[in-house]
Amino acid sequence: MPPLPIVKVSQLSKRFGPILALDQVELEVKPGEILGILGANGAGKTTLLHILLGLTTPTSGRVEVFGQNFENHRSQILQKTNFSSSYIALPFNLKVREVLHVFALLYGLTDSHPKIDQLLQLFEISETRDTAVGKLSSGQITRLNLCKALLNSPGLLLLDEPTASLDPDIAEKVRHLLRQAQARDGLTILYTSHNMYEVEQLCDRIIFLHRGRILASGSPDWMKQQFQQATLEQVFIRIARSGDVLAPENSGSHQQPT
């Protein structure tokens, strides 16, 4: 029997007034999979992650995480989930170690100091531990967010454009650390990025969202073959510009059989 999916959503839709941000999304994510969620601005990527974090309530559909119904097991699920986003603000007047300590308390961790030190070292920002968040560079804040995201040793990590402000060297290190966490702890990662190189390096599989619908799902190589493009960037542009024509009901299924 295949292992139970870590995330399973069916017929998931989210409406914001006239906007259908997610439209009948079907998705299963396997344990230990790194799934890239691609799509133009407004495609519905953040909405999907927010639903998995309980920050947005779906209009309709089912969400299961760790094999449990999200509505009924929300707090158990969220205890084992974490996220990082370029778009959240950390309290700027607290020091780095204080911020992580506060989050550790929120997560119910006892004796979090060794873990905090270990994560700061891992992301190479130990020297900022007594620096106020407001004085950090954007790359340091990004790494602090990732430390926060791994603090509760999550089984599911949701990353919304986490490396947007990192230089190529640090971005490469972060990818390596995420791969390590996947290999060592079986961490499952859902990840959005507009950096196609990074997506290709990191993701086992990607899905393309277009106006809230999944237009294609498969490995980066499969996507390039399927859309007859040399690079993932070209696949992205093709889908973003002609997604309406490529939608399954217009063109036959582009979904990879699983």
CA pair distance 206, 216, nearest whole angstrom: 8
x-marked contacts with ligand ADP along 4-33 as a string, rule CB under 6 A? ------------x--x-x------------
Residue 42's binding partner among ligand ADP, Mg ion, none (Cβ under 5 to 8 angstroms by kind) is: ligand ADP
The CA distances from residue 142 to 73, 123, 125, 155, in Å, are 30, 10, 11, 20
Residue pair 101/116 in contact by the 8 Å Cβ criterion: yes
- For 75-91, the three-class secondary structure string (H helix, E strand, C coil) is HHHHHCEEEEECCCCCC
For residue 109, what is the DSSP state? Answer: -
Beta-bridged to residue 65, according to DSSP, are: 7, 68
Q: Which is nearer to Mg ion, 97 or 210 (CB)?
A: 210
Do the Cβ atoms of 84 and 148 come closer than 8 Å? yes
Query: What is the smallest separation between the CB atom of 116 and Mg ion, expressed in angstroms?
Result: 29
154 binds, among ligand ADP, Mg ion, none (CB under 5 to 8 A by kind): none
Q: Phi, psi at residue 81, to the nearest 5°?
A: -120, 150
> Shortest Cβ distance from residue 229 to Mg ion (Å)?
23
Nearest to ligand ADP of 41, 93 (CB atom): 41
Among 14, 46, 65, 200, binds Mg ion (CB under 5 A): 46
Residue window 44-73: x/- pattern of binding to ligand ADP, with contact defined by CB under 6 A: xxxx--------------------------
Report the distance separating Cα 78 and Cα 155, nearest Å.
Answer: 10
Please tell me whether residue 210 binds ligand ADP under the rule CB under 6 A. no
**Residues contributing to the site for ligand ADP (CB under 6 A):** 16, 19, 21, 39, 41-47
**Residues contributing to the site for Mg ion (CB under 5 A):** 45-46
